[in-house]
């Protein structure tokens, strides 16, 4: 069987779940074009005119709060969904996230006071992070090992579709003569994607790994058999082997560790290593300046001397390129590997940030067209490396490194660190660029340079292994090998029966990788 093929059921589930990814991407990115709309400033009594010093300072503080409050809500949402989807399942958690997100989007669109707008941003941040935490877990738990990077990578790629949609909707709304339409219509579209998610969620199967962990083996087997159905293999050999691996590994983990809470992520050595590595990866992904550029791309381009229309168009093009980069990242991730991809991407970002800082320092706001064009080119070069190597990888890696019984809590922790890491940068970015200018970029040269070294030293590679086999990378016991079988040319695997009996034996060829079609 081909090592790169997967079932249409796997792909359909991944793409359906990615409506949640679009929801998060749109929720986060729409504020970038909103703060580029003069009518939004006027409605809430703010200004982008630096000559009005006191009001300008206040406006920058409000903008920092609008950015930061989304991340603050996201921290709590990530931790909440880690508990929720372990307790009630992946599907119910997805429905709760969609409902909360609809409420937050509607409140933003209808805001009549800046305080109401800020509160609504907190709600959408809370629910958006539920999606960004849950979707990669969900996809990882239904994806075959050989193409897990590609399928989980669609999460990162599709929330860039959300970014791209937000950017172009913002551009289109800018030209409307209706002052309220300029900024309220783009915000209103936040409710569309979670509504679509609610329409699809009834069709989605529950995670078979979650079902096994809650004693519902019959349901888990039915789902695995459908997901890995191969008409050329009536015995469903791969599905049986995966089912055996999942049931044996979960039984081993539960007997070894028992019930696991958030505190166990820090108090048990094997979990603590994963927890710290996950935190490092998420921190590193934000400490290279990507979140600041994403959020301020319109104003950064404007600061290089371009007018409002040019700035909106260039920023939309920039985000579109990021979207293409994320799909490319997902496509090559199972070949390139997780760790190597992150190292290449972050190193490339540092190189382009160095040049960008030099351009802004010497030519920012000048009339030197060649220099200004170079400044924009550096921003585009930055996103080629970030989108092409990092942005998708971090979600794949975070969803892989934790065993099933703590995966949701572990991923929730990782994403809470992700959003916590954004807070100091988002809160300080508007003021930082306004006060120290190009020197603010030095943060995103020094920090990622250090992080690349740390990732090389401490992050193990996970590509090609099943989720259960990744336990071995962290020195935990692996109950059964599936993708890397050692020993004789053939092996006999005992498939436990659903009723707890010893089941049947499956004799198979000892291939380096067992794949699914």
Binned at pLDDT 50, 70 and 90, residue 517 comes out as very low
Q: In the numeric block, which tokens belong to residue 249?
A: 């590994």
**Domain range summary for the chain, segments of one domain joined by +:** 8-216+256-471
Residue with structure tokens 């020993």? 487
Helix (H, G, I), strand (E, B) or coil at 140: helix
Where is average pLDDT lowest: 211-215, 334-338, 456-460, 500-504? 500-504
Q: Percent of the chain scored above 70 by pLDDT?
A: 90
Q: Under DSSP, is residue 238 helix (H, G, I), strand (E, B) or coil?
A: helix
pLDDT digits (tens, 9 = 90+) for 194-227: 999 999 988 899 999 999 999 999 999 999 888 8
Q: Check if the beta carbon of residue 375 is closer than 8 Å to that of residue 437.
A: no
Flag the least confident range among 41-45, 278-282, 376-380, 430-434: 430-434
Q: What number of other Cβ atoms are within 10 A of residue 53's Cβ? A: 9
- Angle CA(99)–CA(105)–CA(109) in degrees, nearest 5? 150
Confirm if 109 and 447 have CB atoms less than 8 A apart.
Answer: no
* Rounded CA separation 369/375 (Å): 10
- The C-alpha atoms of residue 358 and residue 164 are separated, in whole angstroms, by 28
Strand 504-509 to 490-495 pairing: antiparallel
CA 94, CA 62: separation in Å to the nearest integer?
Answer: 31
Q: Which residues pair with 509 in a beta bridge?
A: 490
The pLDDT, as a whole number, for residue 113 is 92
Token pair belonging to 357: 């800082």
3-state SS, residue 224: helix
| Residue 66 and residue 118 in contact, taking contact as beta carbons nearer than 8 Å | yes
Q: Distance between CA atoms of 506 and 463, rounded to whole angstroms?
A: 26
| CB-based burial label for 358 (10 Å; 0-12, 13-18, 19+) | middle
Helix, strand, coil percent content, the chain, rounded in steps of 5: 75, 0, 25
- pLDDT (0 to 100) of residue 339: 96
Q: What is the pLDDT of residues 86-101, one digit of tens each?
A: 999 999 999 999 999 9
Q: Which of the listed CATH numbers 1.10.443.10, 1.10.287.610, 3.30.420.40, 1.20.1250.20 matches domain 8-216+256-471? A: 1.20.1250.20
Residue 142 pLDDT level (bands cut at 50, 70, 90): confident
pLDDT at 273: 92
Most confident of the following: 218-222, 288-292, 361-365, 470-474: 218-222
This model's pTM is above 0.85: no
pLDDT for 5 equals 55
pLDDT tens digit string along 246-289? 999 999 888 888 778 888 899 888 889 999 999 999 999 999 88
Could you tell me which residues come within 8 angstroms of residue 251 by beta carbon, excluding any fewer than 6 positions away?
479
pLDDT, residue 365, reads: 65
The candidate with the shortest Cα–Cα distance to 393, out of 414, 422, 421, is 414
2: confidence class by pLDDT, cuts 50, 70, 90: very low
Q: Is pLDDT at 501 greater than 60 in this prediction?
A: no
Contact between 105 and 194 (Cβ < 8 Å): yes
Q: Mark out the alpha helices in 35-113 (DSSP H runs).
A: 38-43, 53-88, 90-109
Q: How confident is the model at residue 508 (pLDDT cuts 50, 70, 90)?
A: very low
Record the tokens describing residue 469, joined without a space.
């086999």
Which pair of tokens denotes residue 67? 């950015």
What is the band of 483 on the pLDDT scale with cuts at 50, 70, 90?
low
pLDDT at res. 366: 67
Residue 198's pLDDT is what? 94
Instruction: Categorise residue 412: left if φ over 0, alpha if ψ from -120 to 50, beta otherwise.
Output: alpha
CA distance 400 to 142: 12
Condensed to tens digits (0 to 9), the pLDDT of residues 390-446 reads 999 999 999 999 988 889 999 999 999 998 888 888 777 767 777 887 888 899 999
Q: How far is Cα 160 from Cα 396, in angstroms, rounded to an integer?
A: 15
Residues 6+ apart with CB under 8 A from 15: 154, 158
């Amino acid at each position: 069987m081909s090592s790169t093929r997967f079932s249409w059921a796997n792909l359909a589930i991944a793409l359906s779940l990615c409506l949640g990814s679009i929801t998060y991407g749109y929720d986060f990115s729409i504020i970038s074009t909103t703060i580029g709309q003069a009518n939004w400033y006027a409605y809430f009594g703010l200004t982008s005119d630096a000559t009005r010093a006191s009001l300008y300072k206040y406006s920058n503080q409000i903008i920092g709060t609008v950015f930061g409050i989304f991340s603050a809500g996201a921290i709590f949402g990530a931790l909440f969904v880690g508990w929720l989807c372990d307790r009630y399942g992946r599907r119910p958690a997805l429905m709760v996230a969609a409902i909360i997100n609809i409420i937050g989007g509607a409140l933003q669109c209808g805001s009549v006071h800046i305080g109401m707008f800020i509160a609504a941003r907190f709600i959408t941040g809370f629910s958006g992070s539920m999606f960004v935490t849950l979707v990669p877990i969900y996809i990882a738990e239904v994806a075959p090992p050989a193409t897990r990077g590609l399928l989980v990578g669609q999460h990162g790629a599709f929330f860039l579709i959300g970014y791209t949609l937000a950017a172009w909707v913002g551009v289109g709304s800018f030209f409307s003569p209706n002052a309220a339409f300029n900024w309220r219509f783009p915000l209103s579209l936040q409710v569309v994607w979670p509504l679509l998610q609610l329409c699809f969620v009834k069709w989605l199967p529950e995670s078979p790994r979650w079902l096994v962990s809650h004693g519902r083996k019959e349901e888990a087997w039915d789902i695995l058999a459908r997901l890995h159905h191969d008409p050329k293999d009536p015995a469903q050999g791969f599905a049986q082997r995966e089912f055996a691996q999942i049931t044996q590994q979960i039984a081993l983990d539960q007997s070894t560790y028992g019930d696991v809470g958030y505190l166990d992520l820090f108090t048990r050595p094997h979990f603590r290593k994963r927890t710290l590595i996950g935190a490092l990866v998420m921190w590193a992904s934000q400490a290279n300046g990507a979140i600041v550029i994403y959020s301020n791309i319109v104003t950064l381009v404007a600061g290089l001397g371009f007018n409002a229309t040019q700035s909106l168009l260039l920023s939309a093009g920039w985000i579109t390129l990021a979207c293409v980069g994320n799909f490319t990242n997902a496509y090559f991730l199972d070949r390139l590997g997780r760790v190597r991809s992150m190292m290449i991407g972050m190193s490339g970002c540092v190189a382009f940030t160095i040049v960008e800082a030099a351009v802004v320092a010497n030519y920012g706001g000048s009339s030197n067209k060649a220099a200004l064009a170079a400044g924009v080119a550096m921003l585009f070069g930055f996103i080629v490396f970030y989108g092409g190597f990092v942005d998708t990888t971090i979600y794949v890696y975070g969803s892989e490194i934790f065993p099933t019984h703590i995966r949701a809590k572990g991923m929730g922790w990782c994403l809470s660190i992700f959003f916590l890491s954004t807070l100091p940068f988002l809160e300080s970015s508007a003021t930082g660029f306004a006060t120290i200018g190009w020197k603010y970029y030095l943060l995103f040269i020094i920090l990622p340079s250090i992080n690349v070294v740390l990732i090389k030293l401490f992050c193990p590679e996970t590509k090609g292994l099943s989720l259960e086999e990744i336990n071995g990378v962290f020195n935990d016991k692996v109950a059964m090998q599936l993708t890397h079988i050692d020993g004789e040319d053939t092996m006999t695997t005992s498939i436990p029966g659903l009723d707890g009996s010893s089941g049947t034996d499956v004799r198979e060829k000892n291939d380096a990788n067992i794949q699914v079609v």
